[in-house]
Amino acid sequence: MDSIWTQTAELPQFAPLDGDLKTDVLVIGGGLAGLLCAYWLTRAGADCALVEADRLCGGVTGNTTAKLTFQHGLIYSKLLREFGPERARLYLEANRGALGKYRELCRNIDCDFEERDAYVYALTDRRKLDRELEALERLGFQAEFTRTPALPMPTAGAVRFPKQAQFHPLKFVAAIAKGLRIFEHTKVLELAPGTAVTDRGTVRAEKIVIATHFPMLNKHGAYFLKLYQHRSYVLALENAPAVGGMYVDEGEKGLSFRDYGDFLLLGGGGHRTGKRGGGWRELEAFAKEHYPQARVAARWATQDCMTLDGVPYAGPYSKGTEGLYVITGFNKWGMTSSMAAALVLANLLQGKENPYAALFDPSRNVFRPQLAANAWTSTVGLLTPTVPRCPHMGCALKYNAQEHSWDCPCHGSRFGEDGRLIDNPATDDKESMKINREDVS
């Protein structure tokens, strides 16, 4: 089912590329991150073009819960503990600045922008909340503790960030896309230095940005080890009481809540792509218990790229690919962090310094615990003797019974039952897909 956003917005349509093209900067990928890169570059006077294999924002952007906040779970105590105050402060400043940019832009855009407080709640353990509050105090930001958040179940309290925001992402996209040089239904088939070969013509560019959700080049940058993908699910409920703010559980498998008009958006049921998880069944069970009068008006799912350390990658693709850049890995917080990362990348592409460039640098230290977990999952996927297999790197696909798809637990590619590609990093359909019911789980 389509998300509430795709049901209530109309995006502009753009023609495919027709022949060869020369430009200073080419952005590959028409999600929010790619569009923001193109937007800031075009506004700065750069000669920039964007190509999208399908339609704009048909992936994560159209299936988000659209929270605009620099409260990203309990991120600040983690960053402070693992990397120290300087990096934690930079992350806070970059994302607070991103929220400020949205405020500026949305003054002139009809996109249902509303100021809301944001909360991270804990079901049982308040100590994690206290540690986050202490970390934020060290970083100079005064968050607040709330004992009884407006949720339908008991909690141990919540950390409150005042004056955050929420909006309609596709109405925002429809506005910023106007005036940009965009080519839809234009698929990149091959990349070479300064050149992108598409199914509609060849684009020559001094600089190329890969903004394809999961980076499309395997032999550079080791993104197949530096990223994994995570699925999460949303129900739009009618006749459910409003919560008034934006809420997320501090636990990875918890629930999220926010209002949109007369709807309550209930999110959760998440799991690593290709693994088992609660999905919509978990959300439906919660709604039945806590909102018995509610009706499901829409349901949808999304897929997020997760980095090794919780900070996105935005900068040079790798040390050996001059002129090639990447923006990816928003860790479920792509609204503000894609804005922050796009501003960094736009500066780098113009030869300008940016105080957050080192924070987002894709070549930063990769020796994090998640690296070993990603490598182990990939090894298991490669050695599992089942079919069908993912054309990306050969891992065994797992059947997702809730969404009727074949999913790759190694890197997150997804295919329909007919073999049609749904999510990258795979770049082509899976031919001759056959469902072996013994593999269905």
Q: What CATH number corresponds to the domain at position 344?
A: 3.50.50.60
Q: Does a structural domain hold residue 187? A: yes
Sole residue written with tokens 């629930």? 255
Of the candidates 331, 360, 389, which is a domain's last residue?
A: 360
C-alpha 188: how far from its chain's center? 21
CA distance 184 to 437: 37
State the DSSP code for 67. Answer: E
Tell me, yes or no, whether 373 lies in a domain. Answer: yes
Do 325 and 435 lie in one domain? The reply is: no
pLDDT at residue 433, rounded to an integer: 52
**Final residue before a domain boundary, out of 360, 395, 423:** 360
Identify the pLDDT of residue 367: 84
User: How many residues can be counted in the chain?
Assistant: 441
Claim to verify: residue 411 and residue 314 sit in the same structural domain: no
- What's the pLDDT at 126? 95
Task: Please report whether residue 50 resides in a domain.
Answer: yes
For residue 95, give the amino acid letter: N
Same-domain pairing of 383 and 404? yes
| 269 torsion bin: left (phi>0), alpha (psi -120 to 50), beta (else) | left
Same domain, residue pair 375 and 394: yes
pLDDT of residue 435: 47
318 in a domain, yes or no?
A: yes
Domain identity same for 419 and 321: no
pLDDT digits (tens, 9 = 90+) for 283-334: 999 999 999 999 999 999 999 999 999 999 999 999 889 999 999 999 999 9
Kindly state whether residues 329 and 355 are assigned to the same domain.
yes
Q: Is residue 316 domain-shared with residue 196, that is, in the same domain?
A: yes
Q: State which residues of the chain have pLDDT below 70.
A: 1, 431-441
Strands (E), 167-312: 182-183, 188-192, 195-198, 201-210, 227-238, 246-249, 256-260, 263-272, 295-307
pLDDT at 424: 82
Of 66, 162, 160, 164, nearest to 115 by C-alpha is 164
Q: Are 402 and 431 contained in the same domain?
A: yes
Residue 432 has a pLDDT of 52
Q: Which residues contact 86 (CB under 8 A, 6 or more apart)?
A: none
Task: Please choose, from the candidates 245, 206, 233, the residue with its C-alpha nearest in 3D space to the C-alpha of residue 332.
Answer: 233
User: Largest alpha-carbon pair distance within the chain?
Assistant: 61
22: containing domain: 4-64+170-225+310-360
For 73, the token pair is 């779970």
Does one domain contain both 318 and 433? no
Name the token pair of 44.
């700065």
Domain assignment present for residue 292? The answer is: no
Q: Which residues contact 324 (CB under 8 A, 6 or more apart)?
A: 191, 193, 207, 208, 210, 217, 220, 316, 317, 318
Rounded Cα distance between 70 and 99, Å, is: 7
Q: Is residue 428 part of a domain?
A: yes
The pairs formed by 377-380 with CB atoms below 8 angstroms and a separation of 24 or more are 377/228, 377/272, 377/409, 377/410, 378/224, 378/225, 378/410, 378/411, 380/409
Could you tell me if residue 29 is inside a domain? yes
- Cα–Cα distance list, 249 to 72, 177, 426 (Å): 11, 33, 32
Is the separation of the CB atoms in 120 and 71 below 8 Å?
yes
Residue 215 lies in a domain: yes
CATH number at residue 410: 2.102.10.10
Same domain, 385 and 426: yes
Together in a domain, 421 and 326: no
pLDDT at residue number 45: 96
Query: pLDDT per residue over 231-252, tens digit each?
Result: 999 999 999 999 999 999 999 8
Residue 29's nearest CA partner among 218, 196, 261 is 196
Examine the domain organization and report whether 434 and 339 are in the same domain. Answer: no
Distances (CA, A) of 256 to 130, 213, 249, 265: 20, 23, 6, 8
Indicate the helix (H) or strand (E) that contains 5. helix 4-7
In sequence order, what DSSP letters do the residues of 166-196 get, joined into one string? E--HHHHHHHHHTTS-EE-S--EEEEETTEE
Mean confidence (pLDDT) of the chain: 93
User: What's the number of domains the chain is made of?
Assistant: 2
Going by the DSSP 8-state scheme, the letter that residue 397 receives in this structure is: P
pLDDT at residue 149, as a whole number: 87
Contact between 24 and 207 under an 8 Å Cβ cutoff? The reply is yes
Final residue of a structural domain among 294, 326, 360: 360
- Return the sign of the alpha-carbon dihedral for residues 360, 365, 368, 370: positive
